[in-house]
A = this chain, B = another copy of it.
């Protein structure tokens, strides 16, 4: 017996049916918003991720040397690959570019509950607009993606890296990234631990007061944006706050404002975000935090050698979202058994195959007894795999021009003439 690779999973038919249900819901919304599907290779040269990423991501890369001695990594997310593709081939294309993907990502860290080495994301990138209208379009789509799965009980919490930068400046902190990292962790810490970390970082009491004031700017935009106006004095900060007001108006017009919260303590892990960032949270008892997130990254394309080009996007973590949808009972129970199971009795194989061919042409999921089992055992199999209907093809019946159709749920049996099988089956399956 050879084990699966550590930290990976197999997806069985029921898993796949559920995953495809979620993917197709999200895909429909992505396409309705005018995003177009792309896919990049699973592997990239490791330096691509080193160029842009926070140290956490690089440490957790699924990196290795290929047979040619090149440093290669399985992608930890799609944004770098998309930016690489844009720089290499799409700088001259009409802007904005709107791309989406549904793909597997990889990381190498000690596997723990809900953290797999191979995991899936559905996401979009909008490249070539620095307008707040582009942020609004992407955030509205982010909300609509969750809504498409039936989820209602969630919020999209919006932060702003420019305001965090300005805040670090106000406090006279030069290591703004260091400060952001601490602020980003606050939800995982007690108030006391949080304050201790800020002290260790070198902040005095009045600065810590300010930090506590900042992380309280958290709630519905109409309630908390006025607080931000009080806290921030600089022109740059004031401009950014106006942008957040405009964003809020736009999201109201998109009809998604109910799900929007401002949370100025949000920084997001990646260092490459430049202004508006956001993440989605859905309250749950499964210990699942963020179910997706994104933000604006106006410098990344330049870092990769392209002409400076603004961009924004998000990724939805399927392994985060799916358990919540299941827990809430939002995913329809998948039908993984065949709709029809055809059992040929003695010498009736040819007729049975004929029936199966006709049903399959109508896209009816049809299975056929292939192992030469007798009726009792074949019925038992049909029952165990969850077939809805069984068609029994017996010689005497066929000589009279009929077969027997059994509804496995109700137990009802019908004698159906050979040329009415397809209609009767559709009727019984309510198609």
Chain A: residues with CB nearer than 8 A to chain B? 1-6, 8-13, 16-17, 20, 28-29, 31-34, 36-45, 47-48, 51, 62-68, 70, 72, 74, 81, 84-85, 87-89, 94-96, 98-99, 104, 106, 108, 118, 126, 128-129, 131, 133-134, 137, 144, 250, 253-255, 304-306, 336, 338, 341, 349-350, 353-354, 357, 359-361, 363-368, 370-372, 381, 384-385
Contacts and interface: CB of A to CB of B under 8 A. Distances in A.
A141 to B, nearest CB: 9
B8 A37 contact: no
A17 B2 contact: no
- Dominant secondary structure of chain A at its interface with chain B: mixed
Count copies of this chain in the complex. 2
A67 B72 contact: no
A37 B65 contact: no
A31 B96 contact: no
24 contacts: A2-B305, A4-B44, A5-B72, A6-B68, A6-B70, A8-B43, A10-B38, A11-B38, A13-B37, A16-B37, A17-B37, A32-B360, A32-B364, A32-B366, A33-B367, A62-B66, A64-B64, A64-B67, A66-B108, A67-B108, A95-B381, A98-B367, A137-B370, A144-B360
B16 A39 contact: yes
Contact of A41 (B9, B64, B65): B9
B365 A31 contact: yes
A34 B253 contact: no
Contacts of A363: 28, 31-32
A318 to B, nearest CB: 12
Nearest to A141: B360
Contacts of A84: 2, 4
A50 to B, nearest CB: 10
Nearest to A20: B37
A12 B37 CA distance: 7
